[in-house]
Structure 1
């Protein structure tokens, strides 16, 4: 019988675009299925912003233990067969921040949503920050339309909803709590900046933080129109080999 690989994804409250210690990125790489993982950065949510891509290339090009690449969709070069082969060959797909709604629309236009589901089923570790965390769930809390609002849309690989920047952007926490309490978003996961959480087959199996006090919360409705907010135990990450090399 063929062994079915676990389905794994990680929500990140930081990484190469916001932190200079490399802790969360090293944590992600250490959980890949390969000792020298192929890591594809997907910057769709930023419109394939050149400066963002350069940040990724600088951060991951200095890591000898991975093979970095970038998926461009705004100037796409791969045909459908080549795109599928490319994505299914990746050990890690790392999705950047930006506009969640635009990200989902572009992915669906190019069939990337379907290919990422297939990669997920075959053991590729999916991860991302901000919009790159929102996209995996059934719904999310986003500023894709300007003011904060609910987006009851996503790939649905992770049951429930996601809220990034839970502690760092004004209005995030009360607005997300109100949305879950009112049923505008399903129960979900709120990620503070500096924290990360790994899900295996839809269940949280590890939560970490690069900064003391940063956490990941399970947010659920309770009777009377309120919410329950429960912090997951987080392990504090140690010094990064990447940070020691710089």
Structure 2
């Protein structure tokens, strides 16, 4: 009997769409199970926005260390069998930002939620920014409905909840803490822009930052109607500090 692949996902507070140095994307690729991973960008949350797709293509097609592709669902071209084969062949699935609630609805319509769970079980690294980070958890803090609010919905691959843009958007920190304190969201993880968090089998195994002063936080009820917020140690990312995982 073969050794089971670890189940791994990453929450990103940046990447090709926001950063010029590529450090968080370098870090993601360094976590892949092979030395030249197949990386699929999924821009569903933005409605498959062409400008977003072009950003990804520009950033990743020039890289010698990966094979990039894009999954379009708003002009879907693959039948069910081809879609399953395509997603299960990926080493990294990189989900873009946008509207978390819309993303979940579209994925479920096309069965992508089930396929991503299957890919995750087989060792594909799942990752993303903003809505692409929210989607993996049991719930998240989102502006999917206009004002910032809580969304007790997600794929549930990561236990607990997620809050992106913890430091950069007014109201995020206060309202996420309030949602956790009130029990509207379970305890979870808050990611500031510039940071990243890697989970293996649902357990945080590394937190990193490309920008001094930004980080990752654990937020949980304190039992008295408030919350405890713990800032977690983050490894600074530098071009020379990225080590690729050995090919499995």
Identify whether the pair has TM-score above 0.5, normalized to the shorter chain: yes
**Structure 1 residue runs of 4+, over 3 Å off?**
none
Distance across 1 between alignment mates of 2:233 and 2:224: 27
* 1:171 aligned partner: 171
Q: Distance in 2 between matches of 1:123 and 1:51?
A: 30
- Aligned-partner SS, 2:41: strand
TM-score normalised by L of structure 2: 0.96
Report the counterpart of residue 74 of structure 1 in structure 2: 74
Post-superposition Cα deviations, 1:177-200, rounded to whole Å, max 9, x if no partner, equal 000000000000000000000000
Q: Greater CA deviation, 133-142 or 222-231?
A: 222-231
| Aligned-pair Cα RMSD in Å | 1.2
Aligned length in residues: 242
Q: Say which is worse superposed, 232-241 or 55-64, in terms of deviation.
A: 232-241
SS of residue paired to 2:162:
strand
8 Å Cα contact 1:14-1:24 kept in structure 2: yes
What is the CA deviation profile of residues 7-52 of structure 1, one whole-angstrom value per residue up to 9, with x for unaligned ones? 0000000000000100000000000001000000000000000000
Unaligned runs of 5+ in 2: 242-248
Structure 1 CA distance for aligned equivalents of residues 62 and 162 of structure 2? 31
Match of residue 236 from structure 2? 236
In structure 2, the residue corresponding to 1:119 is in which secondary structure?
A: helix
Deviation at 1:240, TM superposition (A): 7.0
Distance of 2:105 and 2:206 partners within structure 1: 30
The yes-or-no answer on 1:3 pairing with 2:3 is yes
Gaps of 5+ in 1: 242-246
Whole-angstrom CA distance in 1 between matches of 2:240 and 2:17: 16
Counterpart CA distance in 2 for 1:87 and 1:107 is 13
Query: How far off its partner does 1:62 sit?
Result: 1.0
**1:95-106 correspondence runs (5 A):** 95-106=95-106
Counterpart secondary structure, 1:138? strand
1:149 is matched with 149
Distance apart, 1:164 and its partner CA = 0.1
Does the CA-based 8 Å contact 1:26-1:240 persist in structure 2? no
Cα deviations across residues 107-143 of structure 1 (Å, max 9, x unaligned)? 0000000000000000000000000000000000000
Compute the displacement of 1:223 (Å): 2.2
Q: Distance in 2 between matches of 1:144 and 1:184?
A: 16
Alignment partner, residue 108 of structure 2: 108
In structure 2, how many angstroms separate the alpha carbons of the residues matched to 1:231 and 1:71?
35
Q: Report the counterpart of residue 223 of structure 1 in structure 2.
A: 223
Alignment of 1:21-170 (within 5 A): 21-170=21-170
**Is residue 21–residue 240 contact of structure 1 (8 Å, CA) maintained in 2?**
no
Give the Cα separation in 2 of the matches to 1:231 and 1:2: 38
Are the counterparts in 2 of residues 208 and 234 from structure 1 also a CA contact under 8 Å? yes
Deviation at 1:231, TM superposition (A): 1.1
CA distance in 2, matches of 1:240, 1:50: 33
SS at match of 1:25: helix
Residues of 2 paired with 1:37 and 1:2: CA distance?
21
